[in-house]
A = this chain, B = another copy of it.
Amino acid sequence: MAETLRRGAGPERRPPLILNASGCLDALTAPAVARSLDAFVTKTVTPLPRGGNPPVRIAETDVGLLNSIGLANLGIDAFLERQLPRLGELGVPLWVSVGGFAADGYAASCARLEGRPEVEALELNLSCPNVDGAAGTAAEIVLACRRVTAKPLYAKLSAATWDLGETARAVEAAGADGLSLVNTLRGLALDERTLQPRLGTALGGLSGPALRPVALAAVYACARVTTLPIVGMGGVARGRDALALLAAGASRVALGTVLFGDPQAPARIRAELAEEAALLGFRTPAEAVGAAHGREDGRSATLDQRLRSFPQNTCKLGTNEAVDRRS
């Protein structure tokens, strides 16, 4: 298992860190940060321009971030004409996130991107929680897009389903080249004084720390049922979060929410990741890919392993505000 997974990491010794489809960073305004990433996924582009959802569009909660951007974007025409040429000049491998409202919409966008050499891969956003309406099954959309493009196709899935493994297998069978896991979960936050929803659409997509264990589980579960390379994401804020996703089976790790608070996160996380991996005896972080599947019986760490030496930390630990019991 670990061997198969490791293949996904490719020959690079540098652990691939990429920007997820979120607009958590603007590559044109912050080219230096963009260049510190191994690849850059655009915000989702739809067939027609979209203004997006009514304000308020963003709300921070105790344990995560809610957004309701609603796929605001210029539409594929303006994207191809105005944004893509400039993004192509950055010199960072570029993935385009493609959205749509039916399989043919996705496929039409993929077809138009097919001839563009600036684009390294396509990610199909099959899981935006902020737009209504079923877009057909994930596999149908992948199939339609596969017919029109030879570029690597990544299926971006949500963890909000019991049969994620089945979906993963279905998109693999339909011709996907990889999985992007995970998109946000549906969440709600109320204003403490008015008890009204803080977001204009009431419900929004939950990203950030709260998503970490859910994202890890999704990556782990999919790695056990497909051999597709996986881009892992969800709440990555520290080297150890990235390392855990690699161990669970991701061969690339994507950053989003963390970039708002710390635009220098790519360089920092890359350094932390290398250090943490080295501490655990891996020559490169890429070597840790799939490590969590190491033991066939799935037994957890024994007390003995736990008692092995580990850096003793200081008392400068914040407490977890999420468990603050004062009201």
Residues of A participating in the B interface, judged by any CB pair closer than 8 Å: 54-56, 61-64, 66, 158-162, 185-203, 206, 208-214, 216-218, 220-221, 235, 237-240, 243-244, 247-248, 261-262, 268, 272, 275-276, 280, 288, 291-292, 294-295, 298-301, 305-306, 308, 310, 317-327
**Complex CA–CA separation, A60 to B243 (angstroms):** 18
> Given A61-B212, A300-B196, do A323 and B188 touch, yes or no (CB 8 Å)?
no
- 4 A-B pairs with least C-beta separation: A187-B213, A209-B322, A188-B217, A318-B319
**Complex CA–CA separation, A239 to B327 (angstroms):** 6
> In the complex, what's the smallest C-beta–C-beta distance from A312 to chain B, in angstroms?
13
Q: Is the CB of B191 within 8 A of A203?
A: no
Interface of chain A, helix or strand or loop or mixed? loop
Q: Is the CB of B210 within 8 A of A213?
A: yes
Q: Is the CB of B261 within 8 A of A197?
A: no
A202 — nearest CB in chain B belongs to which residue? B298
**Complex CA–CA separation, A158 to B163 (angstroms):** 13
Chain B residues, CB < 8 A from A55 = 300
Q: Is the CB of A189 within 8 A of B210?
A: no
Chain B residues, CB < 8 A from A262 = 325
Chain B residues, CB < 8 A from A272 = 327
Q: Is the CB of B161 within 8 A of A162?
A: yes
Q: A64 contacts which of B213, B239, B276 (Cβ < 8 Å)?
A: B213
Q: Is the CB of B212 within 8 A of A63?
A: yes
> Given A188-B248, A217-B186, A244-B190, do A195 and B61 touch, yes or no (CB 8 Å)?
no
Q: Is the CB of B298 within 8 A of A190?
A: no
Q: Is the CB of B161 within 8 A of A185?
A: no
Q: Is the CB of B323 within 8 A of A194?
A: no
Q: Is the CB of A213 within 8 A of B323?
A: no
> In the complex, what's the smallest C-beta–C-beta distance from A259 to chain B, in angstroms?
12
Chain B residues, CB < 8 A from A186 = 159, 214, 217-218, 221
